[in-house]
Amino acid sequence: MHAIRIEEHGGPAVMRWTELPDPTPGPGEALVRLGAAGVNYMDVGARSQGTGGWAAPTVLGAEGMGYVIALGAGVTEVAVGDRVAWFYHPGSYAELLAVPVTSLVKVPDGVPDEVAGGLLIQGLTANHLSTETYPVGPGDTAVVHAAAGGVGLLLTQLVKARGGHVIGLVSREEKAAAAKEAGADHVLVHSGAGFEEQVRQLTGGRGADVVYDGGGADTFLSSQLALRPHGVHAYYGPFMGVPTLRPTDLPNSILLTYPVVHHHVPTREALLRRSGELFDLVLDGRLTQRIGGHYPLAGAARAHADLESRGTTGKLVLLP
């Protein structure tokens, strides 16, 4: 088989299309032939700096879907021929993978391969943000950073499905249309800080109930200043920079949280339930995964370069 492997950390040029031995599924694992792999900012951090414990050499990628072609000992949860997706499995940029069945969920008929392969990491993140991090209710106003990005487009739709209003932030004017198509009530074009006054104007001076901030350190303070008293700043942008903070710096008695999506799906039962919620929303048309680019698996370096340029919209997927 072939996979995208790095021998050292660095730019996209360190990614190599490498021939490796076919994996053999061990006890509790299924051998899966890749159908589609999702590209995420965590992959960029893993490649460039080893963020998240990704030591080189390694095969990149953490998300995808595929077809079960063999089973390890004791596996009863899936069968040969099943279409399956996984939320997190290191080494997903590969033609073949031996995946623990605890990480696998069956993909319903009607959900295309490219959607299933790129839905779970960003979709479960968006689900976590809009339910457990801050349970959006009817009439709530949410500010969504990078509203034309993979998480932002899904999060906007989930907030709207729960009856909330969305003020979307995009870095370029040409991205505004995608955010509006996803349901954003207002779209502000900002490449950094300074949007808080516009948010306050749009909320009658009150401020937003929640800011979902994947924008990084540059937007950290503006996100907090855009909130109402006791509003929630959900900061999930560590790959874009981590600011320093003293508790007394927090304005308006706001609540600051760093949501980690693994806490949303700590067990297989939770993974099945939460992924099922996403698939149901896709099937009934309330959630659309916008595919922003298709790349051959061997061309994953180009996908990384495009993602880092911040010129992409929606989800990037790799196809074998």
The pLDDT of residue 168: 98
Other C-beta atoms closer than 10 Å to the C-beta of 284 total 8
* Dist CA 255 CA 134 (whole Å): 10
* Dist CA 217 CA 3 (whole Å): 33
Q: What six digits make up the tokens of 35?
A: 């159908």
The pLDDT of residue 245: 84
The pLDDT of residue 191: 75
- Predicted TM-score (pTM) of the model is 0.92
* Dist CA 284 CA 42 (whole Å): 29
* Dist CA 37 CA 104 (whole Å): 14
Distance from the first to the final alpha carbon of the chain = 11
Contact status, residue 154 vs residue 146, Cβ threshold 8 Å: no
Whether a cis peptide bond, with omega within 30° of 0, leads into 251 is: no
Per-residue pLDDT of the chain (320 residues), as tens digits, is 999 999 999 999 999 999 999 999 999 999 999 999 999 989 999 999 998 889 999 999 999 999 999 999 999 999 999 999 999 999 999 999 999 999 999 999 999 999 999 999 999 999 999 999 999 999 999 999 999 988 999 999 999 999 999 999 998 899 999 999 999 999 999 877 899 999 999 999 999 999 999 877 888 999 999 999 999 999 986 656 677 888 999 999 999 999 999 999 999 999 999 999 999 999 999 999 999 899 999 999 999 999 998 778 789 999 99
The pLDDT of residue 241: 65
Nearest to 238 by CA among 10, 20, 46, 101: 46
285: Cβ–Cβ under 8 A, 6 or more apart, which residues? Answer: none
Contact status, residue 297 vs residue 319, Cβ threshold 8 Å: yes
Domains and CATH numbers, the chain: 2-119+289-319 (3.90.180.10), 123-262 (3.40.50.720)
> Phi/psi of residue 146, each to 5°?
45, 50
Nearest to 189 by CA among 181, 200, 177, 201: 177
The pLDDT of residue 38: 97
In the beta sheet, which residues pair with residue 165? 141
